[in-house]
């Protein structure tokens, strides 16, 4: 509840977009925006979500569309996983400091690291970083793919199923299929 309440209290005006580009390809564009726009998610090896002030995100997205790369503006209330989340990190950490944390008893992948969760998952700092750092979806899928053949997405839109399919095709062929 603290996370949603704090996020909801942030000023609106942030945007997010998905761009058919790698983080390395986007690095120069992000640098030109002086840290105002950040990578919000690594969806697939060739698809990255950026987040930040709406105008800046739109500018970067338009530049990549002009390069004939697929882009899509996401319908969001805020620029999640971006510097616009910074004002809530300390209040969120304080709000959850007195909670009791436990290490997972089952294997759990962290979408903060894309790797199996370690002892950090049972700390307030981990969950604060979770608000601000990129979601590492495709690294997590890449890590777990050799151990499973079944992926199940529950929800109204098959966004993650599509990202999973693209990531798996990259793993098996060594290329990212459009």
Residues 107, 160 within the same domain: yes
Judge if 20 and 72 occupy the same domain: yes
The Cα–Cα gap between 105 and 7 comes to 30
CB burial string 14-41: b at 16+ within 10 A, e below: bbbbbbbbbeeebeebbeebeebbbbbb
Helix axes 23-32, 54-66, angle to 10 degrees: 130
Residue 76 lies in domain: 10-83
5 belongs to a structural domain: no
pLDDT at 108 over 80: yes
Q: Tell me the pLDDT tens digit for each residue of 117-174.
A: 999 999 999 999 999 999 999 998 888 888 877 888 888 877 787 887 888 888 776 6
Predicted pLDDT of residue 175: 55
Q: Tens of pLDDT along 21-72?
A: 999 999 999 999 999 999 999 998 999 999 999 999 999 999 999 999 999 9
Q: State if pTM tops 0.75.
A: yes
pLDDT confidence of residue 178: 42
Q: Are residues 92 and 146 in the same domain?
A: yes
**Three-state DSSP state, 7:** helix
The CATH number of whichever domain residue 36 belongs to comes to 3.30.70.250
């Amino acid at each position: 509840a603290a996370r949603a309440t704090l996020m909801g209290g942030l000023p609106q005006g942030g945007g997010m977009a998905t761009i058919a580009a790698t983080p390395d390809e986007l690095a120069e564009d992000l640098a030109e925006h002086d840290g105002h726009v950040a990578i919000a998610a690594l969806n697939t090896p060739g698809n990255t979500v950026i987040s930040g002030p709406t105008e800046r995100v739109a500018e970067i997205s338009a530049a990549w569309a002009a390069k004939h790369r697929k882009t899509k503006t996401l319908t969001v209330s805020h620029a999640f996983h971006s510097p616009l989340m910074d004002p809530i990190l300390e209040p969120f950490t304080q709000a959850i400091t007195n909670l009791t944390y436990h290490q997972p008893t089952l294997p759990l992948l962290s979408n903060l690291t894309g790797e199996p969760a370690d002892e950090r998952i049972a700390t307030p700092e981990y969950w604060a970083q979770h608000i601000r750092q990129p979601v590492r979806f495709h690294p997590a899928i890449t890590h777990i793919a050799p151990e499973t053949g079944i992926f199940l997405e529950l929800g109204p839109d098959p966004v993650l199923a599509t990202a999973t399919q693209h990531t798996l095709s990259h793993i098996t062929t060594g290329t990212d299929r459009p």
